[in-house]
Amino acid sequence: MPVTVLLVDDEPLVRAGLRAVLEAQPDIEVVGEAADGAAVVPLVRRLRPDVVAMDVRMPLLDGIEATRALLRSVDAPPKILVVTTFENDEYVYGALRAGADGFLLKRARPAEIVHAVRLVAEGESLLFPASVRRLAAEYGDGSGNRAARAVLERARLTEREGEVLRLMARGLTNAEMAARLVVGTETVKSHVSAVLAKLGVRDRTQAVIAAYESGFVAPG
Amino acid sequence: MPVTVLLVDDEPLVRAGLRAVLEAQPDIEVVGEAADGAAVVPLVRRLRPDVVAMDVRMPLLDGIEATRALLRSVDAPPKILVVTTFENDEYVYGALRAGADGFLLKRARPAEIVHAVRLVAEGESLLFPASVRRLAAEYGDGSGNRAARAVLERARLTEREGEVLRLMARGLTNAEMAARLVVGTETVKSHVSAVLAKLGVRDRTQAVIAAYESGFVAPG
DNA sequence: ACCCGCCTCCCCCGTACGGGGGAGACGATC
DNA sequence: GATCGTCTCCCCCGTACGGGGGAGGCGGGT
């Protein structure tokens, strides 16, 4: 059965774009739209979507409040994917703290958007930039190991991939990692690609950021 | 080729600690050790290290005299990093006057030690590197801005370079930074290169690491 | 008036990076 | 036995990255 999605954005253009991108997928179905946060809860109750793709900046009720309202008043709430224009939007962090499962840039490429919807639908959280911060915080700051392990499990990194991420977060190049791990550089590249894909990031720089932000590695 | 370091300290424990910290870095190699200042000159002549990490208080010949001797009797002398326990040690200032390139607190965190070695190896001088973290603590934890500014001054980053480092640490590519800063990509490249040089790091990944480790940017 | 630091932009060039494929070996699981 | 996931390695290919230069404008300081 397909992944059902509810679109919540005050701009019709954005909704149309998301719909076009998502409907092009055989396994994704857009079941409804809303133009503001106030309409979200009743719509979710009625349509029971798997995923809500929600703008943060909206009239009446913004994405943060709508997220909170959903998690509070709906049982078996849908996965919430925060949609935003800017990556450093204060609202984004607020929404993630409020319990959103991931975030998505409006200027993301269609494939990334589809990917994000599928991921959150499966229960994954999009690690970048900050959604696992909560996770790390829950485990307290002292126990870096447990936080790291939680990140591993959440992102489904294999042991080897975690090792590679750790070395990346120490500034090693692929060649240096290959030397240290006693494997070929092509092998390291494979692991790196897997890590980038699983973390939902673009390059090693963002992977390192995710590692720090999630508590997978800690300063000091 | 790696940065080669000679350790000079009368306490084996300190030498071992420094060795452990530095050897953990792929680009730093500890090439020798000495337990007193008298052995430094011949060792430097033989090993030709890039950096000498030298205690100030030592038997036979203290760090000040050893520094003077090095600069006097060795051509193309290594960079000298004075290692000390106390920040207010008149020996330290004596050593700096004698020609040392920087000083380092024994209780500094590993990342700071590594950073200091890289910096002096690059020709930067670290005249007053009281631990950046403690610096940040002094400013209180809330005011990340002032702590960040302190790091800026420490690494001699200009305001623009700091801005670029911040964006790097958020995962932006050069092109994205150019768009946001409304300048050309070549300009951004210039700033990035300057940041890498001043931080003594190799690539943007290591720059991001340095940004986190120094407290220039903070997780969460 | 002069110098110097900063910001801006330009060139060339080598290479590490990352995406797109695929494939064999091994162990665990069913 | 078949399947799955993991780890290993290989190919091609485009591009972002980073080093090496240089250069002009502009403001502050002496």
Mean pLDDT of chain A: 74
Cβ burial of A38 (10 Å; 0-12, 13-18, 19+) is middle
Quick one: average pLDDT of B185-193? 92
pLDDT tens, position by position, B94-107: 555 566 777 676 65
Q: Which of these, A171, A166, A189, lies nearest to B25 by C-alpha position?
A: A171
pLDDT tens, position by position, A53-109: 988 777 667 777 788 888 878 888 888 888 875 544 445 545 655 667 776 766 555
Chain B interface disruption, residue of A128, A172, A177, A208, most B CBs within 10 A: A208
For residue A120, is pLDDT > 50?
yes
Q: What pLDDT score was predicted for residue A174?
A: 92
Tokens of A148: 């790291």
Q: Which of these, B124, B133, B95, B120, lies nearest to B194 by C-alpha position?
A: B124
Distance CA B178, CA B54 (A): 43
Q: CB A220 to CB B110 under 8 A?
A: yes
Percent of chain B scored above 90 by pLDDT? 11
Q: What pLDDT score was predicted for residue A204?
A: 92
The residue that leads in pLDDT, B99 or B197, is B197
**Minimum mean pLDDT among A138-142, A182-186, B143-147: which range?**
A138-142
User: Which of A2-11, A87-96, B8-17 is predicted most confidently?
Assistant: A2-11
Q: What pLDDT score was predicted for residue A149?
A: 45
Shortest Cα–Cα distance, A45 to chain B (Å): 33
Phi-psi region of B215 (alpha: psi -120 to 50; beta: other; left: phi over 0): left
Q: How confident is the model at residue A186 (pLDDT cuts 50, 70, 90)?
A: very high
Percent of chain A scored above 90 by pLDDT? 13
| Chain B residues with at least one Cβ partner in A under 8 Å | 26, 109-111, 133, 168-171, 173, 201-206, 208-209, 212-213, 215, 218-220
Q: What pLDDT score was predicted for residue B90?
A: 45
Quick one: average pLDDT of B51-66? 78
For residue A173, is pLDDT > 50?
yes
Cβ burial of B71 (10 Å; 0-12, 13-18, 19+) is middle
Greatest Cα pair distance, chain B, in angstroms, is 60
Q: CB A205 to CB B204 under 8 A?
A: yes
Give the bases of strand D that a protein CB approaches within 7 Å.
5-11, 16-23
The residue that leads in pLDDT, A64 or A137, is A64
Peptide bond preceding A110: is omega within 30 degrees of 0, i.e. cis? no
For residue B122, is pLDDT > 90?
no
For residue A155, is pLDDT > 90?
no
Distance CA B8, CA B83 (A): 9
Residues of B in contact with A209 (CB under 8 A): 169-171, 208
The residue that leads in pLDDT, A23 or A5, is A5
Q: Which of these, A181, A143, A139, lies nearest to A162 by C-alpha position?
A: A181
Q: What pLDDT score was predicted for residue A64?
A: 77
Residues of B in contact with A212 (CB under 8 A): 212, 219
Percent of chain B scored above 70 by pLDDT? 68
Q: What pLDDT score was predicted for residue B191?
A: 92
Distance CA A116, CA B8 (A): 54
Q: How confident is the model at residue A170 (pLDDT cuts 50, 70, 90)?
A: confident
Q: CB A201 to CB B171 under 8 A?
A: yes
Residues of B in contact with A97 (CB under 8 A): none
Torsion of the alpha carbons at A37, A41, A42 and A47, rounded to the nearest 10:
110
The residue that leads in pLDDT, B86 or A215, is A215
Q: CB A212 to CB B212 under 8 A?
A: yes
